[in-house]
Amino acid sequence: MNGVRILVDAVVIASALAALAVAPRVLARRRPDAVGTVVGRRLSSPPVWLALVTALVYVDQVLFTVYVLRVHDGDPAFIARYLPAGWFDLASEHPVVRALAEHWPLPGLLAPSLLRVQAFLELPFVLLAFATVVRWLDADLYRRIARSALLPAASVSYTAVFCLVEWDLRNPYTVDDLLIRALSAVLTPLFLAWLAARDGATSRVPASVPGLLVFIGSLGALGALVLVVYDTALLYSLGRLDDRLPLALAASVALLGLRAGLAPRVSDASSPTLSFVVRALRHWLLLFFVPALAIRYGLLFGTPPLALAVGALTGVVACVRAVRETPDAHGVRLVVRLGGAVVGGSLAAALAARVTPPSYAEVTLLSAMGAFLVVGVAVCGLLDRVSELRNIRS
């Protein structure tokens, strides 16, 4: 365990250093900021492929349950003993699954549905989720990342962490999984780069309260769906899906409404403060892209203070770089507005973390981050509006 912890910490540090070194080149010779409309081909869109990969993950879960029912009499103990508590809450009593199991021919051929299919799909799942968020914020930035060294670096970083966790939880299928993950690490970035090259989207989040709130709402809804997939599918616990279905449906409806209805209609009523926020988010996504998964697993398998420190460093550097790009960013008024937004957002995040029901650490983090961003943006918008009214009166 100590060896794995040291290696996870090393991946955290190496990933952050790689991002710090490569990220500035991604924005070199960038076109001037502009707000456009997504016009890319739908089949080249990361959300479409993310939905397809998610569907494949759930198909694999159903087939695995069929395999356990037919080959192991419904008892997953043969593999569950190698993994922590919380895995393998199967939907073996579901009538549809049982009916499928009764009529499935040659169930022994479904053995790869245990761990090995997931070993291939997990990397595209997380990379497509991150690509979706970046594309929502800035489609040009998404393509730049896909053409840069950040994409293969992220693939290597994520795969290294996945493999270290696999080794820490080793079981009879670990060697197979490591080889499959290595193959996925090669193919997935090549596919994403090809996908991005075919994407003609031109959208950017406007530096306005409505635009940023639509983006934050979309981010929160997608985050909730990702957590549901991890909890029910990637932990082989399809039996929890009924309990998580209300959350998944609510998040899906919210996401579809935000993306299909509100996102194309927000105006570019920008302000200096919110322009800084958009630029800070852009830089943070660039810097966080490579070490994201390493930081997440660093909280569980590494040294949590180190992981938190590296995560905070990406935010600080993003803010510093955003200051350099924002006109009048050194003005006292802008500093005061941002300070008010940080204070208000921090209080909201603390309250959200306190009232969020105990669950996975990611749930509390998502709740706190969403509250921080929503309140922070709202405070920025309010203070900008107050300043405008004062200027009009004077």
Residue 85 pLDDT: 86
Pick the closest to residue 222 from 371, 38, 370, 352 (CA basis): 370
Residue 232 pLDDT: 93
Query: At CA 189, angle to CA 42 and CA 22, rounded to 5?
Result: 110
Residue 29 pLDDT: 53
DSSP SS3 for 208: coil
Residue 101 pLDDT: 94
Per-residue pLDDT at 126 exceeds 70: yes
Residue 357 pLDDT: 78
Pick the closest to residue 204 from 369, 83, 364, 33 (CA basis): 33
Cα-Cα-Cα-Cα dihedral sign, residues 186, 190, 195, 201: positive
Per-residue pLDDT at 265 exceeds 70: no
Structure tokens at 215: 């983006």
Residue 344 pLDDT: 85
Residue 194 pLDDT: 94
Pick the closest to residue 198 from 42, 54, 49 (CA basis): 42
Share of the chain above pLDDT 70, in %: 89
Provide the b/e sequence for 344-383 (b: ≥16 CB within 10 Å): bbeebbeebeeeeeeeeeebbbbbbbbbbbbbbbbbbbeb
Task: State how far the Cα of 271 lies from the Cα of 211, in Å rounded to an integer.
Answer: 12
Per-residue pLDDT at 39 exceeds 50: no
Long-range contacts of 227-230 (CB under 8 A, 24+ apart): 227/360, 227/362, 227/363, 227/366, 229/54, 229/57, 229/125, 230/362
Share of the chain above pLDDT 90, in %: 61
Say how many C-beta atoms besides its own lie within 10 A of residue 320's C-beta: 11
Asked if 88 and 76 touch (Cβ cutoff 8 Å), the reply is yes
User: What confidence tier does 264 reach under pLDDT thresholds 50, 70, 90?
Assistant: low
Structure tokens at 149: 């060294």
Asked if 22 and 150 touch (Cβ cutoff 8 Å), the reply is yes
Pick the closest to residue 363 from 262, 251, 249 (CA basis): 251
Residue 270 pLDDT: 61
Cα-Cα-Cα-Cα dihedral sign, residues 221, 42, 261, 31: positive
Instruction: Report domain extents, the chain.
Output: 2-61+115-330
Instruction: Give the amino acid at 323.
Output: V
Residue 162 pLDDT: 96
Residue 276 pLDDT: 85
- Average the pLDDT over 45-57 and give the result: 95
Structure tokens at 238: 């399809």
Asked if 244 and 253 touch (Cβ cutoff 8 Å), the reply is no
Residue 338 pLDDT: 75
- Average the pLDDT over 45-69 and give the result: 96
Residue 202 pLDDT: 78
Residue 327 pLDDT: 65
Structure tokens at 10: 């090393």
Asked if 134 and 289 touch (Cβ cutoff 8 Å), the reply is yes
Residue 1 pLDDT: 62
Computed over every residue of the chain, the mean pLDDT equals 87
Residue 330 pLDDT: 52
Task: State how far the Cα of 19 lies from the Cα of 103, in Å rounded to an integer.
Answer: 51
* pLDDT tens for each residue of 133-166: 999 999 999 999 999 999 999 999 999 999 999 9
Task: State how far the Cα of 64 lies from the Cα of 142, in Å rounded to an integer.
Answer: 35
Highest mean pLDDT among 311-320, 329-338, 364-373: 311-320
The reported pTM is 0.90
Residue 390 pLDDT: 66
Asked if 302 and 5 touch (Cβ cutoff 8 Å), the reply is yes
Provide the 8-state DSSP code for 43.
Answer: G
- Average the pLDDT over 308-335 and give the result: 80
Per-residue pLDDT at 34 exceeds 50: no
Phi, psi of 151 (to 5 degrees): -65, -55
- Average the pLDDT over 66-73 and give the result: 96
Residue 246 pLDDT: 92
* DSSP-assigned beta bridge partners for residue 138: 204
Pick the closest to residue 149 from 181, 199, 193 (CA basis): 193
